[in-house]
Structure 1
Amino acid sequence: MTSKVICIVLGGGQGSRLYPLTATRSKPAVPIAGKYRLVDIPISNCLHSGITRIYVLTQFNSASLNKHIKNTYHFSSFSEAFVDILAAEQTPTSGGWFQGTADAVRQSLHHLAVHEFDYVLILSGDQLYQMDFEDMIDQHIKNEADISIATIPVHVNDVPGFGILQTDHESMVTAFVEKPKSGFDKLVSEVSPEMEAQGRIYLASMGIYIFNRKLLYELLQGNESTDFGKEIIPQSIDEHKVLSYQYEGYWTDIGTISSFFDANLELTDDIPQFNLFDKNYIFTRARMLPPSKVSGTHMEKAIIADGCIINASHVIRSVVGIRTRIGFDTTIENCYIMGSDNYQTLEQIQECQDKDQPIMGIGDRCNIKNAIIDKNTYIGNDVSINVDGTLPDGDYPTHTVKDGIVVVKKRAVIPNGTVI
């Protein structure tokens, strides 16, 4: 049935909670796990589920995302498969920016009209999970649903952060409350015995929807609602069959610096909840990089991407991204280093050394803990970052501190001997 499905991946808004990682890029373009982009996750889930017609809707800071999509997803000329960008545009019927998730899809409907499809799968571009959409589509068809919503059981402590649905014994949604602050007892739903044993008895919307084509057009063209979660879904429950598709695997919404940081470092666990080594691997841009070279480094729970040159003394519970260079006697602990987009030439390195300036990467005798190092940074020798105690939140020219995590900004230059 996946041949009857077309997918829309929502590029998201400004992503202010992920600043400074979103200062020059959209949320779906943020690098994750050292070599991927967040948008690779929903696209890979689609491709593994047999869904090969995908539109990515973009608006804010979309240049790097557009470039990544263009350079990554290529299909045979004899195939109908595609991953295309749909940027916010001015037309005779719409002259403004996307005002929300529903408005973004509404303004893009005329692009979908040229294709044959019965169902529209709508995804977020900034979530980390592995899901078989084919099974969700089968359940949607089997239950003759008009709309299906992927839901995940959550604990009562998590309820205020989600849109919470209540279902009947046939998994049909009977109520929807956006981020409720009280009255939780009335919103308990039927879940599996495993989830009930964990106290996860509330169903949270994952922001993953299936709409029947005809109904989607009717809902979006018939009113001015701008958001699916706050308006379209609650308005549809009484008039249409809305199915809850329960998902019990790993899923996290990359909404804040701390959630992004934790999601990356959890990948270094012995058996991580999100399995990079699964047969349903993540598709991303193919790079012709050399293998990584490591000299005299003690590594413990570390993920090292391609093309790195590492001479550090210790790398502990850290993710090291592509083309990262780390100097001698340096200690890296609880860090996500995104890497670099290019290498410096030997001549450029020598020029920097002659001027006593940092070279791209991390220098010698550095000590860095609990930090995210964005791409193309220049961290000098004898630099200490976030070593002594928890730093107060703040934004500075070269870095930002959020929830005790230091985020060194893209292309920042940290001089020799700096202490942060």
Structure 2
Amino acid sequence: MVNDNVLSIILGGGQGSRLYPLTEKRSKPAVPIAGKYRLVDIPISNCINSNIKRMYVLTQFNSASLNRHIKNTFHFSFFSSAFVDVLAAEQTPESKSWFQGTADAVRQSMHHFLRHEFEYALILSGDQLYQMDFNDMIQAHIDANAEISIATIPVNEKEATAFGILKTDDNNVVTSFIEKPDTELLPDWTSHTSDDMQAQGRNHLASMGIYIFNRDLLIELMNNPDTNDFGKEIIPQSIEKHKTLSYQYEGYWTDIGNIDSFFEANIGFTDDLPKFNLYDTKQRVYTNARILPTSKISGTALDKAVIAEGCIISAAKIEKSVIGIRSRIGKDSTIINTYMMGNDDYESLEVINTMKTEILVGIGERCFIKNTILDKNVRIGDDVRINGGPHLEDAETDKYVVKEGIVVIKKGAVIPKGFVL
């Protein structure tokens, strides 16, 4: 049963500066995760699994690769009303500026949304990792006769200072809201959570940045040009005037806000029981159905390795690492605690046999790579040693960036033979 009364609006975020350099040449929702997916596949797949099949993705920076990915991936029947459309910031007679925030992005795009019949607008973030059935949240919204619903996740005191924190009454109706409270204020900002959550010290409700708005209220709120952001302005200003429901979610959820959280989320896929379950047949993650050969591995010791399709690997050892599509790793190389995004294309046999390029795409022979993110299409020469970790200071060159001990090799970078970091 398709949810014909719901329109989904996925916010692509701003420039994504905290995820730089991964966002240097692509928008944040287009950043590759787990070796074969892109971030935007997560909210889109959650919608499809919830039978919500009318989606807009709002973006304004480097949206070409995102457009291409969505166009190549999400095809629906000619006879259905389903679609996934990318809306990049556009200049109109009414607005000549970029999106100024999450609410402003929705405001500037309202003329597209209002072409459709819908009762509820489901507003999502394009840079979060989670699996949620939105039908439960929508039903709770309807049953409570709410005008706004906010998905919330119980967090502990340490985590609470990084989020917008809500306070609710016994009926899960939001009574107050505070953005990133100081630690000394937290005792006054506890809410009722389940016994399970209380046992873990998770007594504060953090906004997940997932909202449901009734259509008429969204139109009304968007008529005020002075509010630019949902979390900082719309939600705090609406709580007293409009019935706002908290929908508690207790599953795995992480906000891919910076390089550290991005790296941790990807390496997490190598756990024996990952918190995010890619193997759940009821909560599938959909992506571009590339027609790639199986991966070929020769003489490699593998431990907690996630390897995507189409790879050619002759490494000595791969440990606690994610190896993306079409990756090539040479003989006697060791890869530890690393996310290798892979390649967009294969090097041709002619190039390989004639050595028209000195350093082939992928990782060369006798390399040691640890605590590193290798963006797409990098070329690592033989005998390269990259040992990321807290001993490295933050730095940036034209080929790589170091952030909090994690080394990020930039997209398409060529690292010369014998390089040591």
Q: TM-score per shorter chain, which class?
A: over 0.9
For 1:327-338, what aligned pairs fall within 5 Å after superposition? Answer: 327-338=330-341
**How far 1:210 sits from its partner (Å)?**
0.1
2:335 counterpart of 1:311: no
Cα distance change on mapping 1:404 and 1:388 into 2, 3 Å: closer
**How far 1:197 sits from its partner (Å)?**
0.5
**How far 1:222 sits from its partner (Å)?**
3.1
Q: Distance in 2 between matches of 1:393 and 1:4?
A: 48
Partner secondary structure for residue 161 of structure 2: helix
**How far 1:386 sits from its partner (Å)?**
1.1
2:151 counterpart of 1:155: no
> Partner amino acid for 1:185?
P
> Partner amino acid for 1:411?
G
> Partner amino acid for 2:231?
G
Q: Which moved more, 1:32-41 or 1:277-286?
A: 277-286
Q: Which moved more, 1:87-96 or 1:239-248?
A: 87-96
Q: Which residue of 1 aligns with 2:287?
A: 284
Instruction: Provide the aligned length of Structure 1 versus Structure 2.
Output: 418
2:130 counterpart of 1:129: yes
Say if 2:371 and 2:389, in contact at 8 Å, map to a contact too. no
Q: Distance in 2 between matches of 1:388 and 1:97?
A: 38
Q: Distance in 2 between matches of 1:240 and 1:78?
A: 38
Cα deviation 1:13-51 (Å, max 9, x = unaligned): 011111110111111100000000000000000000010
2:86 counterpart of 1:97: no
Q: Distance in 1 between matches of 2:292 and 2:229?
A: 42
Say if 1:367 and 1:387, in contact at 8 Å, map to a contact too. no
Q: Which residue of 2 aligns with 1:323?
A: 326
> Partner amino acid for 1:272?
P
Partner secondary structure for residue 183 of structure 1: helix
Q: Distance in 1 between matches of 2:207 and 2:369?
A: 37
2:43 counterpart of 1:30: no
**How far 1:350 sits from its partner (Å)?**
3.0
Q: Which residue of 2 aligns with 1:261?
A: 263
Q: Which residue of 2 aligns with 1:216?
A: 218
> Partner amino acid for 2:206?
A
Say if 2:323 and 2:342, in contact at 8 Å, map to a contact too. yes
Q: Distance in 1 between matches of 2:311 and 2:47?
A: 30
> Partner amino acid for 2:194?
S
Q: Distance in 1 between matches of 2:151 and 2:369?
A: 39
**How far 1:159 sits from its partner (Å)?**
1.1
Cα deviation 1:138-192 (Å, max 9, x = unaligned): 0000000000000000000011100000000000000000111141111100000
Q: Which residue of 1 aligns with 2:368?
A: 367
Cα deviation 1:109-144 (Å, max 9, x = unaligned): 110111110000000000000001011000000000
Q: Which residue of 1 aligns with 2:384?
A: 383
Q: Distance in 1 between matches of 2:172 and 2:384?
A: 55
Partner secondary structure for residue 80 of structure 1: coil
Say if 1:2 and 1:137, in contact at 8 Å, map to a contact too. no
TM-score (norm 1): 0.98
2:296 counterpart of 1:293: yes
**How far 1:2 sits from its partner (Å)?**
2.2
**How far 1:389 sits from its partner (Å)?**
6.7
For 1:15-414, what aligned pairs fall within 5 Å after superposition? Answer: 15-181=16-182, 182-279=184-281, 280-352=283-355, 357-386=358-387, 390-414=391-415
TM-score (norm 2): 0.98
Say if 2:388 and 2:407, in contact at 8 Å, map to a contact too. no
Unaligned runs of 5+ in 1: none
Say if 2:127 and 2:255, in contact at 8 Å, map to a contact too. yes
Partner secondary structure for residue 229 of structure 1: helix
Cα deviation 1:84-103 (Å, max 9, x = unaligned): 11111111111111000000
Cα deviation 1:353-390 (Å, max 9, x = unaligned): x66x2100000000000000000000000000016872
Q: Distance in 1 between matches of 2:29 and 2:135?
A: 23
Partner secondary structure for residue 326 of structure 2: coil
Q: Distance in 2 between matches of 1:387 and 1:320?
A: 17
Say if 1:14 and 1:60, in contact at 8 Å, map to a contact too. yes
Say if 1:304 and 1:320, in contact at 8 Å, map to a contact too. yes
Say if 1:174 and 1:237, in contact at 8 Å, map to a contact too. yes
Cα distance change on mapping 1:99 and 1:386 into 2, 3 Å: same
**How far 1:9 sits from its partner (Å)?**
0.3
Cα deviation 1:390-410 (Å, max 9, x = unaligned): 211111111000111100000
| Segments of 4+ moved more than 3 angstroms | none
Q: Which residue of 2 aligns with 1:5?
A: 6
Partner secondary structure for residue 161 of structure 1: coil
> Partner amino acid for 2:114?
A
Q: Distance in 1 between matches of 2:353 and 2:93?
A: 56
Unaligned runs of 5+ in 2: none
Q: Distance in 2 between matches of 1:232 and 1:364?
A: 55
* CA-based RMSD: 1.1
**How far 1:223 sits from its partner (Å)?**
4.1
Q: Distance in 2 between matches of 1:389 and 1:103?
A: 39
**How far 1:411 sits from its partner (Å)?**
0.4
Q: Distance in 2 between matches of 1:388 and 1:351?
A: 38
Q: Distance in 2 between matches of 1:221 and 1:124?
A: 22
> Partner amino acid for 1:116?
E
